[in-house]
Amino acid sequence: MLYGMDEDDDEEKISYPIKQEKKLNIKKVVLVIVAVILAILIIYISFKVSYSILDKNSESNEQEIAKVENVENEPKKSESKKTENVQKDKKKNSENVYEGNHPQIPLHDIEKIKTKFVPQPNENAKQLIKDIYNSEEKQVYLTFDDGPSKDITPQILDVLKANDVKATFFVLGARVELYPDLLKREFNEGHYIANHGYSHQYSKVYESRDTTFQEYVECENSVKNALGNPDYNTYLFRFPGGSNGGKYSSVKAEARELFDSYGIAYTNWNCLTGDAEGKKTKEECIEEMLNTKGNQNSIILLMHDANDKQQTLEALPEIIQYFKNEGYAFKNFYEIFK
């Protein structure tokens, strides 16, 4: 053998490089695996870091949105406070004397309607209404019965608005159901909505004290529905034909006691135009008003706004001017139920 080696030695020399090569291949495989694992770890770590950043950004964005919403809501709160202050000022103004010879109760604007302004019960209402008849103050309550009507009521409202005068409308429930928008207009323009029963059919109204009260309840429901306000109560009733006397005097007396027990006030009048008693012209209506007024200073004037009362519409501007010239304050029943 070359170099004096035996056969076994020669095989060992030849196999050594092969083993070395195998070891080298294993190292390569291990290195590749390690590299792959490292790559996976790097990708995983990168993903986690990115997700964390996105999550923080999302949280930050939500906080920013919340801040923006708070900022946007602040003016609304401020505006709400401002509206509240305006309403307080208006209420304060209603207690003051207005300029000129005919102080007015302020009209109920949209802001007041939104706050669901409604008459408030007054346990002293019955006495306060009685006091009107005995007062020496120059004051006049313009009242209209039997409406609303399609043609006359809108024109009467126009006259009242043009003269900046507030009145009281004793409405019929059946008429309210026919013309709910007119009732809304009466309320929106600051007039007091009072109750005159539902049907105005005397035989039905005065069948008993309970039917009289039922007429009141049915009219109340009609008013609530027309105004879209279940909390609205009139607290004031005018008996068809007056609260005493006549064919149904005994039933009226029983009904008055029932109304008293429920704290519901009622009123008649001490002056009228006679538009429901045969006075067909404005001149006749004005003359009747002056005759029934006499020397009284405090006036509850009865008129009607049914569709056949053209004479009332024609007389109204002159009636208003007469009381203005005499220095009267025009009032409605909101001042008692405020």
> What pLDDT tens digit does each residue of the chain (338 aa) get?
333 344 444 444 444 444 455 555 676 777 778 777 877 777 766 655 454 544 444 444 444 434 434 434 444 444 444 445 544 444 443 333 333 333 444 444 445 444 446 899 999 999 999 999 999 999 999 999 999 999 999 999 999 999 999 999 999 999 999 999 999 999 999 999 999 999 999 999 999 999 999 999 999 999 999 999 998 999 999 999 999 999 999 999 999 999 999 999 999 999 999 999 999 999 999 999 999 999 999 999 999 999 999 999 999 999 999 999 999 999 999 999 98
Whether residue 231 is contained in a domain is answered as yes
- 240/163 same-domain check: yes
304 noted as active-site residue:
yes
- 146/249 same-domain check: yes
- 68/160 same-domain check: no
- 42/146 same-domain check: no
- 319/233 same-domain check: yes
Whether residue 80 is contained in a domain is answered as no
Final residue before a domain boundary, out of 33, 58, 73: 73
Give long-range contacts, CB 8 A cutoff, 24+ apart: 222-227: 222/171, 222/173, 222/174, 222/176, 222/177, 222/198, 223/171, 223/173, 223/176, 223/183, 223/193, 223/195, 225/177, 225/180, 226/176, 226/177, 226/180, 226/183, 226/184, 227/183, 227/184, 227/187, 227/193
The DSSP H or E segment spanning 38 is helix 7-94
- 66/108 same-domain check: no
Whether residue 96 is contained in a domain is answered as no
DSSP code at position 307: T
Whether residue 292 is contained in a domain is answered as yes
Q: Which of 102, 196, 200, 304 is catalytic?
A: 304
Whether residue 218 is contained in a domain is answered as yes
- 161/301 same-domain check: yes
Q: Which of 108, 145, 200, 275 is catalytic?
A: 145
Domain with 7 in it: 2-73
Q: How many domains does the chain have?
A: 2
